[in-house]
A = this chain, B = another copy of it.
Amino acid sequence: MQIFNNRRELQQFALDAKRSGKTIALVPTMGFLHDGHMSLIDIARQKADIVIVSIFVNPKQFAPTEDFDRYPRDFDGDVAKCADHDADVIFAPEIDAMYDGNASTWVEETVLAKPLCGASRPTFYRGVTTVVAKLFLLAQPDYAVFGLKDAQQCFVIQRMVRDLDFPVEIIPAPLVRDADGLALSSRNRYLSADERTRALSIHRSLLAAKARIQKEKAFAPALEEAVATVTAAGGRVDYIEILDCDTMLSPDANTRQVILAAAAFFGTTRLIDNEIFAL
């Protein structure tokens, strides 16, 4: 397994690989890898000749008040896991090896990125689309695998790929849960045992809301009940909303699939989860 820290070296490797007829699958991560990430790497492994895992905690997608400084890191553990799952390349640049000091160019998706996490974190998706555009240009992937834990991120990146004509196929991969139902996230590490137990209310409330929506064909009572459930468990709800997956607007007669999405704080930890289904 090769490890690159320099973006030009990664790009040269990728361009050479493409010229020699190889296909590349990219798995972009912020490290501190868990079984959710491993499932992405396994999917990438099945799709392409070369699997590149990027590990980069991207400062441009964190607001000054957020957890950039304390975001969990375990590079040696990540390397062992990537090797275990047969990745070919890790790309792990330092911040100043990824961005020039006077970098001034942004890639911004302006519609699908607006609600949900885009409303709570106004500069978040601009940071995501900019770094993912760079990763695509550096790693030259034919495929890129993104987990549906961050479903809005998947939709935003699929839109960016379509709008800017990146020659890459985005593969959305199923959300992975722990045995108790908590969606896997590197940020779960922040939770106390008690917070973790209470955080299970997020998934529980989404499943109940989904069942009620499918039965009653009405959104408001189900969403209100979900908010009440998470609040009763001691969570501070950021949002619990239902949107059309294609438009990220309220569902209407043309809606094919909806996302029922939640974000809530337990202690200082912000967790997200979702259910995607047809109405």
Contacts and interface: CB of A to CB of B under 8 A. Distances in A.
A7 B165 contact: yes
A107 interface: yes
Contacts of A167: 11, 15, 137, 140
A111 interface: yes
What band does the interface of chain A fall in when counting residues whose beta carbon is under 8 Å from B? Answer: 20 to 34
A109 interface: yes
A126 to B, nearest CB: 9
A140 B136 CA distance: 13
Interface in A127-180: 129-130, 133-134, 137-138, 140, 159-160, 162-167
Contacts of A134: 163-165
A210 to B, nearest CB: 27
A215 interface: no
B100 A104 contact: no
A129 B106 CA distance: 10
A110 interface: yes
A254 B262 CA distance: 51
A7 B166 CA distance: 11
Contacts of A11: 165, 167
Contacts of A195: none
A100 B19 contact: no
Contacts of A110: 104-106
Interface string A84-107: 000000000000000110111111
A184 B163 CA distance: 32
A21 interface: yes
Interface in A25-62: none
B104 A106 contact: no
A183 interface: no
A112 B107 contact: no
A18 interface: yes
A139 to B, nearest CB: 10
A249 to B, nearest CB: 11
A108 interface: yes
A108 B137 CA distance: 17
B107 A164 contact: yes
A159 B103 CA distance: 8
Interface of A: 7, 11, 15, 18-19, 21, 99-100, 102-112, 129-130, 133-134, 137-138, 140, 159-160, 162-167
